[in-house]
Amino acid sequence: MTGKTKMFVKIIESYRNVVAIADEELVGKKFFEGNKQLDVKESFYKSESENSLSKEEVKEIILEMTKEDATFNIVGKESVACALETGIIKKEAIMKIDGIPYSLVLL
């Protein structure tokens, strides 16, 4: 992993906040494998007011949101790596569609 990839983070406020995190270059794309589909919708992952964030910024948000009883939707190599480094997921929780890693977390 290069560490140069920027990521988007969008916090969707609801009964239990949803934290959507995706590698910048994946946003707006769809991936298919058999009958499975991974749709990295811009409307879900990219906040209108936010620019892409660095790995350290994303890790800070993850750690802060774990205190809020949030759920996480994480897509992409760098985004998944951030989640691994913060400890909110383990390698066994990582799935792939068309080679794109993703993980869903309910704390």
pLDDT digits (tens, 9 = 90+) for 46-104: 987 668 899 999 999 999 999 988 999 999 999 999 999 999 999 999 999 999 999 99
Q: Assess if residue 1 is contained within a domain.
A: no
Q: Assess if residue 73 is contained within a domain.
A: yes
Q: Assess if residue 101 is contained within a domain.
A: yes
pLDDT of res. 107: 74
Dihedral (CA of 74, 76, 82, 86) sign? positive
What domain count does the chain have? 1
Residue reference for tokens 């569609």: 97
pLDDT in tens, 7-52: 999 999 988 999 999 999 999 999 999 999 999 999 999 987 668 8
Q: Assess if residue 11 is contained within a domain.
A: yes
Q: Assess if residue 50 is contained within a domain.
A: yes
Q: Assess if residue 2 is contained within a domain.
A: no
Question: Domain range holding 72?
Answer: 7-106
Q: Tokens standing for 62?
A: 């993850």
pTM for the model: 0.92
pLDDT of res. 1: 42
